[in-house]
Amino acid sequence: MRLWPYVRPVRLRLGFSAVVAVVASCMSLLIPLVLKWMVDGPVTDHDPGGVWLGGGLVLLLGLLEAGLFGVRRWLVARPLAGVEASMRAALYRHLQRLPVDFHDRWASGQLLSRATMDLQILRMFLAFPLVFLVVNAATVLIGFGILFVQSWLLGLVLLVPVVPLMILCSYFEARYALAARRAQDQAGDLATVIEESVLGIRIVKAFGRHRSQARAFRDQAQGLWHTEMRKARLLSDIWAVIMTLPELAIGAALVVGVLQVSDDKLSAGTLVAFLSTALALRWPVESIGFLLAMSNEAGTAADRYFEVMDTPQADTDGRRTDPRDDGLRMEGVRFRYPDAPAGTPDLLTGVDLHIRTGETMALVGATGCGKTTLTALLPRLHDVTGGRITLDGADIGELPVDRVRELVAVAFEEATLFSATVRENVAMGAGPGGAGEEEVRRALAIAQCDFVQRLPQGLDTQVGEQGLSLSGGQRQRLALARAVVGSPRFLVLDDPLSALDVHTEALVEAALREVLRHTTALVVAHRPSTVLLADRVALMSGGRVTAVGTHAELLRDSAEYRYLMSGDAGRDGDAGGDGGERDPHGASRDDAHDDPRDDLDRDPHGDPHGDPREHPRGGAHDDRRHEAAGLERSEAR
């Protein structure tokens, strides 16, 4: 019934194919009646012409049966391929609208197997088992009607195995369904192992982990193999019983029938027709085993498919509030992940922050304080569990998700690209209206993506899966270009320059200043050079914003901020918020090699001469920046 909305558009062809299949099966049931006429008529009367006529009728009925089954296949092939395609498209659309925490919980291989293997099983079920469960049932009913008309006693003999077969099929169905579900889940896990090995092939090779990956694959594959063998054993057991019991019943009917013929209670032609009809019914009965097996696999495939489809989507509706020119506000924002252990504190415990329209705010804090999580709340990748966030006075919880993501552009620290051209990857950030050639080139210029011109096909070069054909810095610059191409009203940058060398970083910072003049921005910063892009700085600690001020003010008034900017804390590179191994002061040992004091020994923009006249903003801003840099050097010492 849950498949019905997808099947409804092809219901006429599917129903007509079932009718055609029933008619084709009836052709095989007419052949015994022709044989009865031949035995009791031309054969008994020694009439060769009648035998040739009967043989011609049998041949004609066989050809009609074959032709009708061919028509049935033609009727369902194309429509059911369309049903599979529409279900796959619906699943893909639904996955795009599911919240990020769903994708955090689900393995990609499990989703991939539901979109491919499970839907293939459902298409096969609709094309064959569903139709033939109906066709075979109709064939058996018509066949037994013919049998009882010929001899009710022999018909009763053939009905003896029915009750044992029903009990055995019920027993088989319960166990096979469990094995089928386990096999499909294991196939999804195996797909995850393969996908991770392929995407992480550089790490696997660099660390010589091919043997451990091979063991992981072998363990998963062997588990799936054992489950498939259990399915095969169950199927072989039930099929052996289904084939044996009807054969015994036909043998018993033959003995009884011969005795009746010898006593002149039954004609030889009737016995031949009866046995021929019984043999014609062998296939509908014997096919019950694998039809039930395929139906159970389809049932578990449907369960797996609708398990995803039943997951509630992120709220894409809602009402709009009247916006006012108010910038970005966070009021008492609290957040905890849905799968966080009970009793643990919230990750964000009440964030209050106001970024005025046109202002750039840097967000600084130690590893694990919740910076990246906070940036994920702005485009509603996660929804707040308390408090609210407003964009120009409109609560993002009351705005449609699509509208929020038109307003807010994001560049994550981990730059993810798609198997598409450079142009397509950058234009993806332009929203529904798209981006023209001029906008794409402007964004590439801002992000200092001059390397694009040296690619084989320029903007039309395919960057490969995950963009692995490019360096880390090139991927990060393309991701930055994607964030700024649509001239967003609100811009969120999560350490956007971490993979750049100092010279490229200085060029990108200079271009970014012009972009930041015309947008409201929140920039997660880990080093002083990035902090100096901002008008003000917010310090996060313990899931809250504990201080807000200019860079110089926080250096003067906050010991924690001085500690973070001095370099002793190491660089916060944890995108997930849980951090690496930390020293007693909260510093991450994983990042100790990256010392922000290296940035203090040069001009924050990479200029060896430190001439403020050469920087885009110049004037008082540069004086303040050099004053802050000198204070930083003093604090670092």
323 part of a folded domain:
no
The band of 222, judged by pLDDT with boundaries at 50, 70 and 90, is: very high
Report residue 461 as tokens.
């070069």
First to last CA, the chain: 73
**225 shares its domain with 358:** no
Cα separation of 298 and 123, whole Å? 9
- Tell me the chain's radius of gyration from C-alpha atoms: 36
According to DSSP H, which parts of 263-343 are helical? 268-280, 282-286, 288-309
Which residues, 6 or more positions from 397, have their beta carbon under 8 angstroms from its beta carbon?
Answer: 315, 318, 380, 383, 384, 388, 389
Instruction: Answer whether 20's CB lies under 8 Å from 72's CB.
Output: yes
Query: What pLDDT was estimated at residue 629?
Result: 43
Could you tell me the CA-to-CA distances from 514 to 161, 177, 211, 484 in Å, in that order?
A: 85, 62, 51, 11
For the segment 443-465, the average pLDDT, to the nearest whole number, is: 83
**281 shares its domain with 371:** no
Instruction: Answer whether 176's CB lies under 8 Å from 293's CB.
Output: yes
Task: List phi, psi (to 5°) of 320.
Answer: -100, 135
pLDDT tens-digit readout, 37-68 = 887 777 777 778 778 888 888 899 889 888 88
Query: What pLDDT was estimated at residue 575?
Result: 36
Closest CA to 56 of 22, 39, 36, 31: 31
What residue numbers bound the domain in which 500 lies? Answer: 328-594+604-636
Task: List phi, psi (to 5°) of 568.
Answer: -65, -25
599 part of a folded domain:
no
**462 shares its domain with 552:** yes
The band of 574, judged by pLDDT with boundaries at 50, 70 and 90, is: very low
318 part of a folded domain:
no
315 part of a folded domain:
no
**410 shares its domain with 340:** yes
204 part of a folded domain:
yes
314 part of a folded domain:
no
Domain count across the chain: 2
408 part of a folded domain:
yes
**245 shares its domain with 148:** yes
Q: Residue holding tokens 């009247």?
A: 322
Instruction: Answer whether 426's CB lies under 8 Å from 439's CB.
Output: no
Cα separation of 148 and 167, whole Å? 24
- Of 279, 309, 339, the last residue of a domain is 309
**471 shares its domain with 620:** yes
Task: List phi, psi (to 5°) of 484.
Answer: -100, -5
CATH number of the domain where residue 392 is located: 3.40.50.300
* The residue type at 272: V
Task: List phi, psi (to 5°) of 100.
Answer: -65, -35
pLDDT tens-digit readout, 580-633 = 333 333 333 333 333 333 333 333 333 333 333 333 333 334 443 444 444 344
**277 shares its domain with 412:** no
Residue 562 has pLDDT above 50, yes or no: yes
Report residue 524 as tokens.
């997660």
Q: Residue holding tokens 């009791």?
A: 40
pLDDT tens-digit readout, 352-380 = 999 998 898 999 988 888 888 888 888 88
* The residue type at 78: R
pLDDT tens-digit readout, 13-33 = 888 888 888 888 888 888 888
Pairing mode, strands 536-541 and 360-365: parallel
Cα separation of 348 and 168, whole Å? 57
Secondary structure of 219-256 as H, E, C letters: HHHHHHHHHHHHHHHHHHHHHHHHHHHHHHHHHHHHHH
**360 shares its domain with 427:** yes
Residue 363: how many CA atoms within 13 Å on its side-chain side? 27
pLDDT tens-digit readout, 266-322 = 888 888 888 888 888 888 887 877 788 888 888 888 999 998 998 887 654 444 444
Judged by DSSP in three states, 64 sits in helix
What is the full DSSP assignment across 523-549? Answer: EE-SSHHHHTTSSEEEEEETTEEEEEE
Query: What pLDDT was estimated at residue 306?
Result: 92
Could you tell me the CA-to-CA distances from 258 to 36, 244, 268, 450, 630 in Å, in that order?
A: 15, 21, 8, 93, 113
**Edge-to-edge order in the sheet of strand 348-355:** 348-355, 328-335, 386-391, 394-395
pLDDT tens-digit readout, 104-156 = 788 888 888 888 888 989 988 888 888 888 888 888 888 888 888 888 888 88
Cα separation of 384 and 336, whole Å? 8
Could you tell me the CA-to-CA distances from 17 to 76, 127, 302, 424, 536 in Å, in that order?
A: 7, 9, 23, 44, 71
Could you tell me the CA-to-CA distances from 537 to 36, 507, 509, 530, 543 in Å, in that order?
A: 97, 22, 17, 11, 16
- Of 274, 309, 344, the last residue of a domain is 309
Is 0.85 surpassed by the pTM of this model? Answer: no
